[in-house]
Amino acid sequence: MENMRCLRCNRELEAGHKSVALYMFAQTVGVKPRQKSTAHRISFCPQCSVSLAMGPPPEGALNMAAWDMIRDLVGSDPALNQAAWENLSGILGLLPATGTDGAARSAPTGGYFEF
């Protein structure tokens, strides 16, 4: 099995880890023969999912559609927020206690999907 990575932060998502997966495939309609593309799976870690859902709407119709779906998930149950919070606590626990620069992690600032 290939290793899944979060599309936004490139964090490795091991099997069994919590994440949000978007499945996408294209299919012709009203055209014969009907064609279907392979299905693609796009993953987001809990932090990015929550961050994207809380953030401003992205540009582009496809990005908007994905954003809406993620907001749907994040907004309907706190489980994903909880997972993000747990991951964040784990990361913070590993950081050396150097004081005030806790925000200096290299999280990507562009919160947009890139299809």
Taking contact as CB under 5 A, which single stretch among the options 2-10, 59-67, 68-76, 97-105 is the one that binds Zn ion? 2-10
Query: In whole angstroms, how large is the CA radius of gyration of the chain?
Result: 17
Contacts of 75 (CB under 8 A, 6+ apart): 53
Nearest to 45 by CA among 11, 77, 15, 72: 11
List binders of Zn ion among 35-94 (CB under 5 A): 45, 48
Least Cβ distance, residue 9 to Zn ion (angstroms) = 3
Least Cβ distance, residue 110 to Zn ion (angstroms) = 12
Taking the C-alpha atoms of residue 44 and residue 69, their distance in angstroms, rounded to an integer, is 12
Q: Is 6 in the site for Zn ion (CB under 5 A)?
A: yes
Binding site for Zn ion (CB under 5 A): 6, 8-9, 11, 45, 48
